[in-house]
C-alpha cells in the first residue's frame, strides 16, 4: 500500500517537473565513467569514427561497447545486435526494449542475400475498430496512451531469436551476459534518461507503482549520473537466455505481462496468454529501388518507412540536388515538396499488408513517381493529395495516427562484412508506463487510426484483431553498383523518421558528406503540412527564404537519433547523432 509520503512526494515532483536539468553529475563511485559529455546547447560533440574490421553505432556507449565485445569474440552482426538491444533496454528504457517491437534488415555478405524481419507488435485477438472509442467517440490520444489498452503483443524477442537461428554464430545465452552484469552491478543514468524522468516526457510516468518505485525511488526522480541496478530485469534476461523466446511468450513472464495489461484498472487492455503464445515474427522481402547508381533497400509493410523514404528519393532523383548546398533554401524546398507527396500516399495506402492490399510495387514505380515529381515547382504546393499508384484501391481513406519520437536505432557491420540495421521502439517515451519484471511495455497500438472509417469508406490503418499498426520505422541499407554493402542507417523520431533517414542518405549520396557530417546536418522536414526547421541550428536561417516560396514554417526542436555506418575505400566510417548520447566505434 502506498504511504502518505508517496503521495506528498509525487505531488512535489509534479510541481517541480517543469525544471530542466541536463547537467552531468559526478562522484567517486568507480562504476561511473565519464561516458556522457555535458549537453550544453542540447548537442554533444561527435567525431567521425573509423575502423578497418567491424563497427557498431548505437544510442548509448554501454550498448556500443557491449556490441563490440561480441564482435571481437567472432560474433556475427545479429549476435552483437542481441547484446546491443538488451543493454539498450536497460540503459535507455524510455526508448526500446523487450516490451516493444522492431524492424530489421540483415545482409548476408557470403550469399549476397538481404532479408528483413518484422517484429512489430500485434493487436490482441479481442481488439476491434472500437478499441480507442468511448461512447461512440474517439478517445483523446493522451488518455489512450497509458495503461493496458494500447499495449500490443511485443515482438522484439521473437524477431531477434528468428534472425539468430538463421545467422547467429555465438550461443544465444552468451549474448545476454553484458546486460545481466550491468543490471546486477549497476550502470550510470545518462543525461538523456535523467532529463526524460525529471521532465516526465510521458505525463503518465509514475502512475503505476512498479514504474514509480523504479524511476522515483524515495519519491525523487533518478538523476543523471546516478548508479542504478535492475535485478528484476536481470532475472528476466536469465530466463530468456536459458529458455529462448518461449521463456518470454509462454510461462510466468507471459502471464505477468497479461496480468499487468489487464489489471491497469484506469485503462485496462484485452491481451490474453494465447495472444502471447501465438505471436510470430515474420521474415519478409525487403523493399528496394534504384536511386541513380545505388540500390536503396528498406523494410516493407507494416512499416511505411521503406516505401516512403524510397518515394522521397525517387521524386528528387532528377532534381540535380548536387548543384545546391546541403543547407540551402533550394534543397530544403525540394525536399519538403517530395515529403508532401510521399506522406500523402503514405497516409492513404500504407498499413499492414496482411490485412490491407498495399500497392507496394505501385508506390515505388519509377514511371508513377516521375509523373508525381512534375508537381514539384518553385513554389510550395500546399497540402498534397495522394496519387493513384498502379494497383491501388483509391477508396481507402486517410486518418491520422500520431507517432511519438521515443525509439532507438543501431547499425552494425561485423568482420565478415555482414550488416544489420534495426529500429526498435516502445512508441511514446516510457511506452504505456506499465512496468513488468524490470522492463516497460509498449503503447504501440496508438499507432493505429482511432477511426474505423471516414466519409463512409474504411481507413486502411484501422484497428483489427491480430493486425500490426502502421509504423514509420525506417532501417535502411544502400548498395553500390556491384551490389556491395555501402551504408547502414536508421533513426528514431516518430513519423519524422522518414525525413531524417532520407535526408541523411542524400547527404552521403548527393552532397558527398561523410556519415557523421550527414547525420549532424541540421534538419528540415515536411510531413505534408508545414515545414519544420531545426531550432538553434543554421537551418533556422532558412525560414524567410522558404516563407517567400509559400511555406508555412515552424522552428522547433527536431530530436532524431541517427546512427549509421558507411563502407569507404579506406574502411568503415561511423556516425552517431549529436542530438542524443550515442557512440559509433569500431576496430
State which H helix or E strand residue 518 sits in: helix 515-520
Query: 201, 407, 531, 537: which is the annotated catalytic residue?
Result: 407
Reduced to 3 states (helix: H, G, I; strand: E, B; else coil), residue 274 is helix
Structure letter (DSSP) for residue 472: -
Q: Rounded CA gap, 248 and 250, in Å?
A: 6
Q: Residue 488: name the closest of 519, 456, 522 by CA.
A: 519
Distance of CA 281 to the CA centre of its chain: 17
What nine digits make up the cell of 284? 519478409
Q: Look at residues 96, 234, 102 and name the one whose alpha carbon lies nearest to residue 178.
A: 234
In 3-state terms, what secondary structure has residue 258?
helix
SS3 355: coil
Judge contact between 90 and 83, C-beta under 8 A: no
The length of the chain is 587
To which residue does cell 518507412 refer?
Answer: 305
Is 308 one of the annotated active-site residues of the chain?
no
Q: Give the residue carrying C-alpha cell 509523373.
A: 371
Backbone angles phi, psi at 347, to 5 degrees: -65, -35
Contact 520, 46 (CB under 8 A): yes
End-to-end Cα distance, the chain? 52
Which SS3 state, helix, strand or coil, does residue 255 take? Answer: helix
Distance CA 343, CA 372 (A): 13
- The C-alpha angle 342, 344, 350, rounded to 5 degrees, equals 85
Q: Answer whether 477's CB lies under 8 Å from 565's CB.
A: no
Q: Residue 302: is the preceding peptide bond cis (ω within 30°)? A: yes
What are the beta bridge partners of residue 533? Answer: 524, 555
Candidates 239, 198, 197; CA nearest to 91 is 197
Phi, psi (deg, nearest 5) at residue 457: -115, 150
Q: In Å, what is the CA distance from 130 to each residue of 445, 457, 463?
A: 12, 16, 8
Q: Cell 497516409 appears where?
A: 347
Catalytic residues: 407
Amino acid at each position: 500500500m502506498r504511504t502518505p509520503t508517496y503521495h506528498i512526494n509525487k505531488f512535489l515532483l509534479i510541481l517541480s517537473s517543469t525544471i530542466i536539468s541536463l547537467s552531468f553529475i559526478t562522484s567517486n563511485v568507480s562504476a561511473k565513467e565519464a561516458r556522457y559529455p555535458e549537453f550544453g546547447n542540447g548537442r554533444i560533440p561527435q567525431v567521425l569514427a573509423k575502423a578497418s574490421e567491424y563497427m557498431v553505432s548505437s544510442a548509448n556507449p554501454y550498448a556500443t561497447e557491449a556490441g563490440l565485445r561480441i564482435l571481437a569474440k567472432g560474433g556475427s552482426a545479429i549476435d552483437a545486435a542481441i547484446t546491443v538491444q538488451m543493454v539498450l533496454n536497460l540503459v535507455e528504457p524510455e526508448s526500446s526494449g523487450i516490451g516493444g517491437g522492431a524492424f530489421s534488415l540483415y545482409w548476408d555478405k557470403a550469399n549476397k542475400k538481404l532479408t528483413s524481419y518484422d517484429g512489430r507488435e500485434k493487436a490482441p485477438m479481442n481488439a476491434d475498430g472500437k478499441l480507442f472509442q468511448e461512447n461512440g467517440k474517439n478517445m483523446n490520444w493522451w488518455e489512450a496512451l497509458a495503461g493496458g489498452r494500447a499495449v500490443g503483443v511485443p515482438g522484439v524477442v521473437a524477431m531477434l531469436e528468428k534472425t539468430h537461428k538463421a545467422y547467429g554464430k555465438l550461443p544465444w545465452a552468451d549474448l545476454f551476459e553484458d546486460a545481466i552484469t550491468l543490471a546486477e552491478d549497476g550502470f550510470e543514468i545518462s543525461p538523456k534518461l535523467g532529463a526524460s524522468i525529471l521532465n516526465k516526457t510521458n505525463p503518465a510516468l509514475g502512475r503505476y507503482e512498479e514504474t514509480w518505485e523504479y524511476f522515483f525511488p524515495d519519491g525523487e526522480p533518478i538523476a543523471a549520473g546516478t548508479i542504478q541496478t535492475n535485478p528484476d530485469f536481470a532475472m528476466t534476461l536469465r530466463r530468456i537466455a536459458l529458455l529462448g523466446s518461449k521463456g518470454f511468450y509462454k510461462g510466468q513472464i507471459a502471464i505477468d505481462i497479461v496480468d499487468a495489461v489487464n489489471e491497469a484498472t484506469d485503462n485496462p487492455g484485452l491481451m490474453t496468454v494465447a495472444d502471447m503464445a501465438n505471436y510470430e515474427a515474420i521474415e519478409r522481402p525487403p523493399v528496394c529501388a534504384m536511386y541513380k547508381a545505388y540500390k536503396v533497400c528498406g523494410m516493407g509493410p507494416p512499416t511505411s518507412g521503406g516505401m516512403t523514404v524510397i518515394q522521397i528519393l525517387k521524386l528528387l532523383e532528377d532534381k540535380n540536388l548536387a548543384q545546391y548546398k546541403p543547407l540551402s533554401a533550394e534543397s530544403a524546398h525540394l525536399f519538403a515538396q517530395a515529403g508532401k507527396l510521399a506522406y500523402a500516399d503514405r497516409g492513404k495506402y500504407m498499413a499492414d499488408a496482411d490485412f490491407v492490399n498495399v500497392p507496394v510495387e505501385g508506390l515505388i514505380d519509377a514511371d508513377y513517381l516521375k509523373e508525381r515529381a512534375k508537381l514539384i515547382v518553385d513554389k510550395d504546393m500546399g497540402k498534397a493529395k495522394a496519387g493513384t499508384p498502379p494497383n491501388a484501391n483509391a477508396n481507402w481513406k486517410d486518418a491520422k495516427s500520431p507517432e511519438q519520437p521515443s525509439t532507438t536505432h543501431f547499425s552494425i557491420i561485423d568482420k565478415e562484412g555482414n550488416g544489420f540495421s534495426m529500429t526498435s521502439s516502445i512508441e511514446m517515451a516510457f511506452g504505456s508506463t506499465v512496468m513488468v519484471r524490470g522492463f516497460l511495455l509498449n503503447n504501440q497500438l496508438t499507432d493505429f487510426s482511432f477511426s474505423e472509417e471516414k466519409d463512409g469508406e474504411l481507413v486502411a490503418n484501422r484497428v483489427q484483431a491480430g493486425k500490426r499498426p502502421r509504423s514509420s520505422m525506417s532501417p535502411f541499407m544502400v548498395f553500390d553498383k556491384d551490389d556491395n554493402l555501402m551504408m547502414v542507417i536508421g533513426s528514431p523520431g516518430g513519423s519524422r523518421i522518414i525525413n531524417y533517414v532520407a535526408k541523411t542518405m542524400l547527404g552521403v549520396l548527393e552532397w558527398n558528406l561523410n556519415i557523421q557530417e550527414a547525420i549532424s546536418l541540421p534538419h528540415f522536414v515536411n510531413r505534408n503540412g508545414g515545414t519544420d526547421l531545426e531550432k538553434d541550428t543554421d537551418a533556422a536561417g532558412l525560414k524567410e527564404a522558404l516563407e517567400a516560396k509559400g511555406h508555412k514554417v515552424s522552428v522547433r526542436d527536431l530530436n532524431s537519433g541517427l546512427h549509421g555506418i558507411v563502407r569507404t575505400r579506406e574502411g568503415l566510417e561511423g556516425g552517431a547523432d549529436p542530438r542524443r548520447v550515442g557512440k559509433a566505434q569500431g576496430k
